[in-house]
């Protein structure tokens, strides 16, 4: 049976996926009902939900905007996350806190494991790494779940963007030398619920960091899989042209290779090749 789970950050990609599971044991809440910067809202939401486990799916995720507002990113990703973790602890609940592959520099040359050295290149990555520390200190019963290249049903997702570009352009450029582990938000949501079920009520768990992510790919391979499925649905197929990350201009540098592996069983969600067909069908039908 699913324990009582309070999910914070209900309107985001991951929050939406957790909501879509439709499990009555899962309470999803977001701003303004619960704002991780406002302890009064945290206390009220925790008291109302009486959770066995709290899942933090909220974050300041605007990677480029964080370069100009590192303090704002730290507020949400480190300070707010710790307030939530502490409130969970005071209510007797462990916290599952979601973190990112961007805590790594991307220069290892092979997939990262949980105990590999971190070295974020960006303000966002630094704020998330700081949050891993503040959450761990605020609640000893914590699991920090790092994931990578999350994609879901929102119109802001990578998959929706590729479909939009395919409608608008004859030719799409896609970075071929940047590697990650595309992770379907619905699969991560299910993995987090399984983890919550495993840790609820336990003291003896091996608390700490876990990697949960899908199969490895380049942006180019991921986009190619999306276009293949879209073409099977009758969409025009634009030319897909490989480019290099070095030619991608943005405020925040992107790490080159943040593929994630895990030292633990259960760290691998479905490959994007398995998850993309149903997602593309859903997005096309909208
Ligand atoms: N997206 C990726 O590719 C990716 C990759 C690796 C790891 N992750 C991690 O995965 C987690 C989920 O990411 P996501 O893509 O689902 O993020 P997202 O779509 O950007 O959603 C973030 C959520 O956080 C909420 N939020 C922001 N500030 C808040 C605050 N002060 N109090 C309460 N809620 C607040 C937002 O609410 P509003 O709607 O009110 O703004 C939104 O619901 C994050 O920890 C992220 O770092 C994401």
Q: List Cβ neighbours of 64 (8 Å cut-off, separation of 6 or more).
A: 250, 251, 252
For ligand 1, the distance from its centroid to the CA atom of residue 171, given in whole angstroms, is 31
Structure tokens at 276: 């993309």
For ligand 1, the distance from its centroid to the CA atom of residue 14, given in whole angstroms, is 7
Task: Pick the atom of ligand 1 nearest to 185's CA.
Answer: 16
Q: Where are the domains of the chain?
A: 5-154+183-216+258-269
Residue to probe by mutation, ligand 1, list 7, 14, 156, 181, most atoms within 8 Å of CB: 14
Closest C-alpha to ligand 1, atom 35 = 58
pLDDT value of position 157? 87
Structure tokens at 21: 């599971």
For ligand 1, the distance from its centroid to the CA atom of residue 13, given in whole angstroms, is 7
Ligand 1: residues with CB < 6 A are 8-9, 11-15, 30-31, 34-37, 57-61, 76, 80, 98, 100-101, 128, 147-150
- Secondary structure of the chain as H, E, C letters: CCCCEEEECCCCHHHHHHHHCCCCCEEEECCCCCCCCCHHHHHHHHHHHCCCEEEECCCCCCHHHHHHCHHHHHHHHHHHHHHHHHHHHHCCCCEEEEEEHHHCCCCCCCCECCCCCCCCCCHHHHHHHHHHHHHHHHCCCEEEEEECCEECCCCCCHHHHHHHHHHHCCEEEEECCCEECCEEHHHHHHHHHHHHHHHCCCCCCCCEEEECECCCEEHHHHHHHHHHHHHHCCCCCCEEEEECHHHCCCCCCCCCECCECCCCCCCECCCHHHHHHHHHHHHHHC
What separation in angstroms does the CA of 5 have from each of 49, 53, 94, 102?
Answer: 8, 5, 10, 27
Q: Is 79 strand, coil or helix?
A: helix
Which CATH number applies to 5-154+183-216+258-269?
Answer: 3.40.50.720
For ligand 1, the distance from its centroid to the CA atom of residue 225, given in whole angstroms, is 25
Task: Pick the atom of ligand 1 nearest to 156's CA.
Answer: 19
Structure tokens at 162: 């590729």
pLDDT value of position 156? 87
Q: Is 102 a catalytic residue?
A: no
Q: List Cβ neighbours of 36 (8 Å cut-off, separation of 6 or more).
A: 8, 42, 56, 58, 76, 80, 81, 83, 84
User: What is the reported pTM?
Assistant: 0.98
Q: 111, 196, 89, 219: which is closest to 145 by C-alpha? A: 196
- For residue 168, the Cα-to-chain-centroid distance in whole angstroms is 28
Task: Pick the atom of ligand 1 nearest to 36's CA.
Answer: 32
> Consecutive 10-residue runs of the chain (286 residues): their mean pLDDT?
97 97 98 98 98 98 98 98 98 98 98 98 98 98 98 94 96 97 98 98 97 98 98 96 95 98 96 98 95
Distance CA(245)–CA(179), nearest Å, equals 10
In total, the chain counts a number of residues equal to 286
Q: Is 51 strand, coil or helix?
A: coil
């Amino acid at each position: 049976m699913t324990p009582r789970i309070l999910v914070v950050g209900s309107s985001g990609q991951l929050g939406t996926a957790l909501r879509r599971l439709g499990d009555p044991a899962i309470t999803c809440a977001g701003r303004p009902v619960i704002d991780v910067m406002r302890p009064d809202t945290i206390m009220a939401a925790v008291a109302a939900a009486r959770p066995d486990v709290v899942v933090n799916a909220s974050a300041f995720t605007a990677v480029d905007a964080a370069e100009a507002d590192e303090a704002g990113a730290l507020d949400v990703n480190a300070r707010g996350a710790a307030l939530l973790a502490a409130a969970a602890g005071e209510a007797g609940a462990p916290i599952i806190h979601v973190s990112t592959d961007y805590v790594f520099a991307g220069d290892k040359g092979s997939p990262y494991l949980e105990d590999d050295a971190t070295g974020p290149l960006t303000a966002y990555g630094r704020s998330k790494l700081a949050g891993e520390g503040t959450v761990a200190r605020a609640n000893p019963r914590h699991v920090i779940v790092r994931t990578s290249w999350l994609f879901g049903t929102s119109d802001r997702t990578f998959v929706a963007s590729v479909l939009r570009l395919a409608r608008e352009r004859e030719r799409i450029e896609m970075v071929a030398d940047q590697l990650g582990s595309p992770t379907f938000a619905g699969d991560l949501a299910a993995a987090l619920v399984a983890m919550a079920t495993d840790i609820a009520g336990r003291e003896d768990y091996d608390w700490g960091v876990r990697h949960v992510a899908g199969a490895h790919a380049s942006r180019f391979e991921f986009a190619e899989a999306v276009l293949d499925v879209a073409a099977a649905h009758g969409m025009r197929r634009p030319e897909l042209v490989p480019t290099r990350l070095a030619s991608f201009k943005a405020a925040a540098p992107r790490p080159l290779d943040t593929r994630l592996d895990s030292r633990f069983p259960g760290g691998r969600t479905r490959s994007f090749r398995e998850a993309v067909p149903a997602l593309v069908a859903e997005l096309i039908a909208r």
